Amino acid sequence: MENIDLKTLRHSTAHVMAQAVQKLYPEVKLAIGPAIENGFYYDFDLEKPLSTEDLKTIEKHMKKIIKQNFPFKRKTMSKDKAIDFFKKRGEKYKVELIKEINEQEVSIYEDGGFIDLCKGAHVNSTGDIKAFKLLSVAGAYWKGNENNPMLQRIYGTAFESEEGLNKYLKYLDEAKKRDHRKLGTELEYFSMPSKIGAGLVLYHPKGAMLKSTIEDFIKKEHLKRGYQLVASPHILKSDIWIQSGHYDFYKENMFIFETDKQEYAVKPMNCPGHILVYKSRTRSYKELPLRLFELGTVYRNEKSGVLHGLLRVRGFTQDDAHIFCLPSQITNEIIKVINFVIEIMNIFGFKEFEIELSTRPEKSIGSDEQWDKATKALISAMEKEKINYKKNIGEGAFYGPKIDIKLKDAIGRTWQCATIQCDFALPERFDINYIGKDGKQHQPIMLHRVILGSLERFIGTLLEHYAGILPLWLAPEQVRIIPVTDKIHDYAKIIKQKFDNENIRCDIELRSEKMGYKIRQAELEKIPYMIIVGKKEQEKNTLSVRSKENGDLGEIDINKFIKDIKQKIKNKS
């Protein structure tokens, strides 16, 4: 087997998995089984809930099929015959799919007596599958619609060699250790109890401190770059959302309610509020670009099936800004935002990025001319900066095309955070203007942009990137003071006060536990510095310091330690 396309290999493995499941559970109904990034899945309608042990049984049967080296044979069949063929087999999902195909002929693949509706392509035979693993089973609605039946989805992966498979499984194991949901619970950063509602976050003291640290930092960085702070209400009358287009194009993602015979919506975005701030008085061309910034908390009615820890929630805070500018300023403003993103992400420890341009979706507002101008403005900025980018056709916002800047983390995964959207449509819908040099009214162009994006998602990204061991400047608790005996508690409190006075975040371990336990606990909580103090340190006015990163640092003068740690915090280390 040489130069087999991984997508083809994985799709073929999904086919073999369906074959094994059908053999083991003859009553099963087959749905779909595509190759996906890093693997494949297949959806099954099966009454018996599948377990991890069942996956092992399925794997064993797959190996038998692979060993028999059945050739994959492609056949074509008329649409009517295919419907009749699969209807007789009770394969209702296949029948539904065939009815949606526009062509008069469909293709099927057969190997070892197993027949499936399939476009292909496949490897030559089942024996070409050398290394695979079934990973998990989850629920999935047919066609992703919650009104359809819930199916069982088996995920798996396949590689050309055992070496490639083992490398990927190690990667998955590392990703599992970094899972922000696990770390968030262990480190007591946040919880998401079902009692308060799906997709809603409760920040515990440490998590709230981390969020506050990020907010304070990003706010200062915006002010340094000429942004002005604004704040908009969490609810607005539906009239505003009708005018903006959200009511027509985003309503299914909005929480809408009525009070005093007036309909309101909880804001899913901050843009209408910022537009109304701009529109509050007459603006001159001399005021532009006008950059309005808000740490705005928004709420979106995401489907329960897509909610995922902090990465996909229903309530989140954005570092949201809208830039109102002249046509001549667009390219320069976009470049400034791109550079802003890269500078900030470098500070947070992200050095690699993927850039994507998303174009007009099917459901959208504005004229073709507006979309063409907006798209060209984004492309012009990227070309001027010599940025390589990938195109996502039809994936833009409903009001404008966008640039997405994705981060690469410590183990090579990409994360969506920053976005820049160019919008000619909303300024027109809200009739916002400025007085130009000619004394006449003109329409500004509006850039929507976030740097970190959803702070919830960004915190989840940080936790996974650093495996929970955050840099000193971000750590909610930077120092843990551990007195050797109860007699040293007063001295420990004096030290804590000194740290408090210098805005160094610290706590004292006062529980009546053994030293080994206290030290181990601080390690598990990933505290950057542990300070051990006993009678000797009290007499000499020193500290015995242990670093999470560098181990035992020995005995250090209090004032020197404070000076050193303040410098590291200042340097964002």
Beta-bridge mates of residue 546:
530, 552
* 489 counts as catalytic: no
d(CA 162, CA 165): 5
Q: Is 322 tagged catalytic?
A: yes
Please tell me which residue in 11, 274, 448, 465 is annotated as part of the active site.
448
Question: Which member of 15, 19, 152, 271 is catalytic?
Answer: 271
Sheet of 228-229: strands edge to edge? 228-229, 290-299, 315-325, 445-454, 414-423, 402-408, 352-358, 390-392
Q: CA-CA distance, 341 to 517, in Å (whole number)? A: 42
Q: Which position among 318, 329, 370, 421 bears the catalytic label?
A: 318
Contact 528, 468 (CB under 8 A): no
| Integer Cα distance of 40 and 56 in angstroms | 17
Is the distance from CB of 425 to CB of 444 less than 8 angstroms? no
CA 89 to chain centre: 41
Q: Is 320 noted as a catalytic residue in this protein?
A: yes
Tokens of 15: 């086919």
Pairing verdict, β 150-159 and 39-45: antiparallel
Query: Which residue is listed with tokens 């500018």?
Result: 325
- Chain-centroid distance, C-alpha 472: 24
How far apart, in Å, do the first and last CA atoms of the chain sit?
49
Q: Which of 402, 480, 546, 548 is catalytic?
A: 402
Q: To 5 degrees, how large is the angle CA 185–CA 51–CA 142?
A: 90
Catalytic residue status for 402: yes
Question: Are 471 and 478 within 8 A, CB to CB?
Answer: no
State the DSSP H helix or E strand holding residue 174, giving kind and residue range, or none if neither. helix 162-177
Here the tokens at position 495 are 């030290």
Residues in Cβ contact with 374 at an 8 Å cutoff, skipping those fewer than 6 apart: 400, 401, 422, 423, 424, 445
With CA atoms as reference, report the closest residue to 480 among 498, 490, 467, 492. 492
Residues 6 or more apart from 2 whose CB is under 8 A from it? none
Let me know: does 562 contact 495? Beta carbons within 8 Å. Answer: no
Containing 545, the helix (H) or strand (E) segment is strand 542-547
3-state secondary structure 377-421: HHHHHHHHCCCCCEEECCCCECCECEEEEEEECCCCCEEEEEEEE
**Strand, helix or coil for residue 289:** coil
- Which one from 211, 322, 518, 546 is the annotated catalytic residue? 322
Which DSSP letter does residue 192 get?
-
Cα 481-487-489 angle, rounded to 5 deg: 30
68 catalytic? Reply is no
* Helix, strand, coil percentages in the chain from 3-state DSSP, rounded to 5: 40, 30, 30
In the residue annotation, 271 being an active-site residue is answered as yes
Q: Which of the residues 54, 111, 116, 320 is marked catalytic?
A: 320
Q: Is 318 a catalytic residue?
A: yes
Among 11, 29, 206, 300, the active-site one is 300
Q: For residue 5, give the 3-state DSSP assignment.
A: coil
Residue 434's SS3 state is: strand
Q: What are the structure tokens assigned to 47, written together?
A: 């009454």
Question: What stretch of H or E contains 441?
Answer: strand 441-442
By annotation, the residues acting in catalysis are: 271, 300, 318, 320, 322, 402, 448
